[in-house]
Amino acid sequence: MQTTALSTQLPLVTEPRNAGLPLDLDWVRGAQANTSAIERRAATLPGRRSVKKDWQAAWLCRAVSCIDLTTLSGDDTEDRVRRLCAKARQPVRADILQALGMEGLSVGAVCVYHDMVAAAVDALKGSGIPVAAVSTGFPAGLSPFHLRVAEIGESVQAGAREIDIVISRRHVLGGDWQALYDEMRDFRAACGDAHVKAILATGELGTLRNVARASLVCMMAGADFIKTSTGKEGVNATLPVSLVMIRAIRDYHARTGFRVGYKPAGGISKAKDALVYLSLIKDELGDRWLRPDLFRFGASSLLGDIERQLEHHLTGRYSAAYRHAAG
C-alpha cells in the first residue's frame, strides 16, 4: 500500500531567511482582532475537512515529518534524550512504514534543554535531524538579559541549529513594542546561522489583539518562526490563537516577500488535532507551508497517537499504546 496522496519525500526548497525590517509602529498598532468572528471561524475548523483512508495516512505521515519531538522535564537524562533521538530517527515502526511505502520518514527536529544539546547532537549525528534548544530563561524568560543572550550562544556552540526563545511578556502587556523589537533583534543576532523560533506564550498575553501585534513585531525583528507557547502555560496552542498568528504571517509575507514559519505547541496530542492544524495551514497559507522548514508541531505525545492511527489504517485494529513507545 503506497500513500502517494501526499508524499513526504519533498524536493529541497531553499527559502531566504526572514531578514526583518525596521519597526513599523503604524502597522503594529493598526493590527486588530475581532475575537467573536475569530472564535466562530475556529469553531468550524474541525468539521470543514475530512480526509480518509490513504489520504489520511499520507497527511499523518506529513504531520510526523513536521514534529519537533520534545522532552522538557526536570528529570531529563542523557539516556532519555538518546532514546528520544532514536525515536526521531525511526518515528514509526519499520513494518508500518514499509507497508505504507514511507521508508526514511523522520521528524522535523528534537527539542531539548541546553544541558541535553550535546547528547542529542551526538545521538543524531549523520541523520540530518536538527537539534532545537529552548533558551532565554525558558519558560518564564525572566533571567537577566545578558544571561539570556549568553545562553543562546552556548546552545549554538554546543551544536543546536534551532533556538526556541521566549519573549518578555511584560513588553506586550505594557505595549512597549520598541522594547520587544530590540529584544528580539538581539536574540536573532545571538543565534547567528541557527534559526530562531519566537515563543509568544499566547496564554499569557491577555488578548488576541496582543497576539497579532506581538507576532508582527517578532517577525519585523527577524524571527524565522513564531510559536504559540512554551507548553508550560495554563493555556497553550488553540485554534483562535493559531488563526491570528497564521494571518499575521500571511500579511507579513504579502508585504515583505519573506515566509515565516509557524509552530503550535502544547496540548496537541491527538492525530485528529494534527489533521485540523494541517488543514488550517493549507487553507490560510497554502501548500508551501506544509513542509517542516515552515511548519512544526511542538509535541511529545502526538507521535504515539499518529503511529496507532497508521497501524489501524493498515490492520483495522487499534493497538495498545505501549507498542508505540516514545523512546
What does each C-alpha distance from 101 to 12, 46, 51, 318 come to in angstroms?
Answer: 20, 28, 19, 20
Cα torsion through 244, 250, 252, 254, rounded to 10:
-150
Instruction: Kindly state the DSSP code that residue 74 receives in the 8-state scheme.
Output: T
State the pLDDT at residue 103. Answer: 93
Q: Is 46 left (phi over 0), alpha (psi -120 to 50) or beta?
A: alpha
Residue 263 annotated among the catalytic residues of the structure: yes
pLDDT recorded at residue 5: 44
C-alpha cell at 240: 483562535
Phi, psi of 48 (to 5 degrees): -80, -30
Residue 6: what pLDDT? 45
Give the per-residue pLDDT at 300: 83
Q: Which helix (H) or strand (E) holds 19?
A: none
Asked if 287 is an active-site residue, the reply is no
Which residues make beta-bridge pairs with 297? Answer: 67
Question: Could you say which of 68, 263, 293, 305 is catalytic?
Answer: 263
Residue tagged active-site, from 68, 87, 164, 273: 164
pTM for the whole thing? 0.94
pLDDT tens, N- to C-terminus, the chain (327 residues): 444 444 444 555 578 999 999 999 999 999 999 999 999 999 998 876 678 889 999 999 999 999 999 999 999 999 999 999 999 999 999 999 999 999 999 999 999 999 999 999 999 999 999 999 999 999 999 999 999 999 999 999 999 999 999 999 999 999 999 999 999 999 999 999 999 999 999 999 999 999 999 999 999 999 999 999 999 999 999 999 999 999 999 999 999 999 999 999 998 999 999 999 999 999 999 999 999 999 999 988 899 999 999 999 999 987 776 666 665
* 232 included as an active-site residue: no
pLDDT (0 to 100) of residue 324: 67
322 class by beta-carbon count within 10 Å (0-12 exposed, 13-18 middle, 19+ buried): exposed
Q: Edge-to-edge strands of the sheet including 162-166?
A: 261-263, 225-227, 195-199, 162-166, 131-134, 109-112, 67-70, 297-299
Q: Is the peptide bond before 292 cis (omega within 30 degrees of 0)?
A: no
Name the residue among 269, 301, 262, 317 with its Cα closest to residue 87: 301
Which pLDDT belongs to residue 83?
96
Question: Three-state SS for 24?
Answer: coil
What pLDDT sits at residue 3? 47
CA distance 296 to 290: 9
Q: Where are the domains of the chain?
A: 26-324
Fold of 26-324: TIM Barrel (3.20.20)
Kindly provide the b/e burial profile for residues 24-40, where b requires at least 16 CB atoms within 10 angstroms of the residue's own CB. eeebbeebebeeeebee
Residue 1 has a pLDDT of 44
What does the pLDDT read at residue 49? 65
Burial class (CB in 10 A: 0-12, 13-18, 19+), 21: middle
Catalytic residue, chosen from 68, 87, 186, 227, is 227
Residue 12, amino acid: L
